Amino acid sequence: MAGRVDALYFLLLGVSIFFALLIAGLIVYYAIKYRRRTADEIGARIHGGMALEVTWSVVPLLITMVFFVWGASVYFAMARPPEDTLNIYVVAKQWMWKFQHLDGQREINELHVPVGRNVKLIATSEDVIHDFFVPAFRTKVDVIPGRYVSAWFHATKPGRYQIFCAEYCGTRHSGMTGQVVVMEPTEYQTWLSGGAPEGSLASAGEKLFQDLACITCHRGDAQGRGPVLQGLFGKIVELQGGGTVFADEAYIRESILMPGAKITAGFQPIMPAFQGLISEEQLLQLIEYVKSLQAQPQNTNK
Ligand code: CUA
């Protein structure tokens, strides 16, 4: 994305420099050309000129519309991750970046990714607003407590790239840095297999699902007191009292933390709220577990 962002940036810079020089130059030129030559000289009065008015309205309009359309297309490309992404969770806290790979690897202030893949970050914060910024990728996104934001990048060269926090977040904000380590795919595979003692996120989520006794109500056989979760992710859910919601990460997050916010049609608001009882990491595990229930009709040991 860097090339596209830079092209727009240099266009804006170029147009700004052009008009700054043009205006400053004309001020100096006319100040000299129309200077008072005799003590009793009086300037000629100028009345409106329609052609001039239209010109200096339409020309800037056309130029700004180019910025708008160009900027919007770059914005949409950056804001909409492609379909085939490698998903990585990011949890920011004062003052570190925690990365959680779906296979179970966890990292702090270092993010290993393969070169040439679309990488999608799903990020949240445990405390205050932070901002995930990798200048080399032109990737920058505010990381906000209580919700998920996403960003994506496609690294084209192996190497190490600096991560900054770009939102003032407390005394050690300036030290909240890290590195993205972009590796050749084979190296990345080696790194991945290097250690995932805790198993995948989804399997950790499955264990938590049992430990927290979610399983007693959310049964796979539709006999439970809570909605069946198999195949839920990515579907439209009918709500009590009308309306629908798209079952994405944010909806599942909300339903775990504040179950009363959106009640599935046909169910009672009996689920306890888990707000403050589970960590952001545990939430991610549960969400990945619910997502893993996608393909299987029944709960299997994935
Ligand atoms: Cu986190 Cu600044």
Spatial distance between the Cα atoms of 286 and 91, rounded to a whole number of angstroms: 15
Strand order, beta sheet including 96-101: 106-108, 96-101, 85-93, 118-125, 149-154
* Domain segments of the chain as ranges: 86-192, 201-295
H or E segment to which residue 286 belongs: helix 280-292
Average pLDDT of each block of 10 consecutive residues along the chain (302 residues)? 93 96 97 89 84 93 95 92 90 91 85 92 92 93 91 93 94 93 89 71 82 81 79 85 85 85 83 82 84 61 43
What residues flank ligand 1, with Cβ below 6 Å? Answer: 95, 130, 165, 167-169, 173, 176
Residues 6+ apart with CB under 8 A from 288: 102, 200, 201, 202, 205
Q: How far is the CA of 96 from the centre of ligand 1 (A)?
A: 8
Residue 145: strand pairing partners: 125
**CATH superfamily, region 201-295:** Cytochrome c-like domain (1.10.760.10)
- The CATH class of 86-192 is mainly beta
Q: Whose CA is nearest to atom 1 of ligand 1?
A: 130
Taking the CA of residue 92 as reference, the ligand 1 atom at the shortest distance is 1
Q: How far is the CA of 95 from the centre of ligand 1 (A)?
A: 7
Concatenate the DSSP letters of all residues of 184-214 into one string.
-HHHHHHHHHT--TT--HHHHHHHHHHHTTG
pLDDT at position 46, please? 82
H or E segment to which residue 21 belongs: helix 2-33
Q: How far is the CA of 168 from the centre of ligand 1 (A)?
A: 5
Which residue carries 């914060």 as its tokens? Answer: 125
Q: How far is the CA of 166 from the centre of ligand 1 (A)?
A: 6
Taking the CA of residue 176 as reference, the ligand 1 atom at the shortest distance is 1
